Amino acid sequence: ALTIDGSMVRLGHVHVNDDQPRPANRAATVETWPTLWPATKVTLLEGSVGFLLAVACGILIGILLYCSRIANAALFPLLSAAQTMPLISIAPLFLIWFGFEVSGKIVIVTVFGLFPIAVQTIRGLEQSPVYSDVALTCGATRTWTLWHVKLRVAARQIYGGIRVSAAYIFATAATAEYLGARKGLGIWLQAAYNSFRTPLIFSATLVIIVITCVLMCLVNLSERMLLGPASDDEDPDAGQ
C-alpha cells in the first residue's frame, strides 16, 4: 500500500514532507502551484472540448428527437438512462475502450453534458408553433422554418440547458480523471488525498470552481452577444 501511495504522489507531482508542521501547509500550497497549473490545463482541455461537443451534439440530438417521433421513442429513453447511471459504474468501460488517454475523458464529459441541452432544445422547439405556422403560411419551407424561426424562438431555452451543462462540466472531467487517467486535476486530487494534504485538496477544488465560473460567464456573454438582453424578447403588449 505504501508503494502504491508513493507512486500516486509522484504521479501527481505532489511533494510531501512528513516533518512539515501543519501551520506550514499554507506555504506548501503556494509551493505546489507550479504543478497544479499543468494539471489544470489538462482538465481545462478535456472540459472545454467535451463541452463544445456536448453543445453541438445536444442541439442536433434535440432537433432529431423533435422532428422524428420514431427517433424520440427509440433514443430518448436510452439518453435518459445514460444520465441516471453513476459515473463510477461506466468509467471502467471507457477505460477499456479508450485507455487512460484524454480522448476517453472528453467522451465522458460529452455524454454527461449533452442531456440537458438536448432536453431544453426539444422543449424550446415545442414552444414555437404560432411562429412556425406564420412562416409556413407565408410560403417558407419546413427546413427554413426550423433553422430560421423555431431555433431562434427556442434559443433562450437552449441556453438554459447549456448553462446547466456548464455548471458541472469540469467537475465531471475531474471525476473521470480520478477514476482513471495519467494526469489532470483528478489525479492531482487523488495524490493529495493519498498524502493527507488537505490544503492541496481545497486548492484544486477552488480551481475547479473558478474555471466553472469563467465558463458560465462566457456562456452568458455569448447569449447576450447572439440574442441580446432577455428583456428584448418580452412582449411589449403583455402588460396591457
Q: Which residue has the higher pLDDT, 6 or 60?
A: 60
Residues 6+ apart with CB under 8 A from 64: 71, 75
Instruction: Read off the pLDDT of residues 231-240 as tens digits, 9 standing for 90 and up.
Output: 666 554 444 4
Place of cell 479508450: 98
* Residues of the chain above pLDDT 70, percent: 75
Average pLDDT over residues 170-193: 85
pLDDT for res 21: 43
pLDDT for res 50: 94
Instruction: Read off the pLDDT of residues 83-105 as tens digits, 9 standing for 90 and up.
Output: 777 777 777 787 788 878 888 88
Instruction: Read off the pLDDT of residues 121-151 as tens digits, 9 standing for 90 and up.
Output: 988 888 766 656 566 566 566 776 777 777 8
DSSP string spanning 145-207?
HIIIIIHHHHHHHHHHHHHHHHHTHHHHHHHHHHHS-SSSHHHHHHHHHHTT-HHHHHHHHHH
Backbone angle region of 13, left / alpha / beta, with phi > 0 → left and psi within -120 to 50 → alpha: left
Rounded to two decimals, what is the model's pTM?
0.78
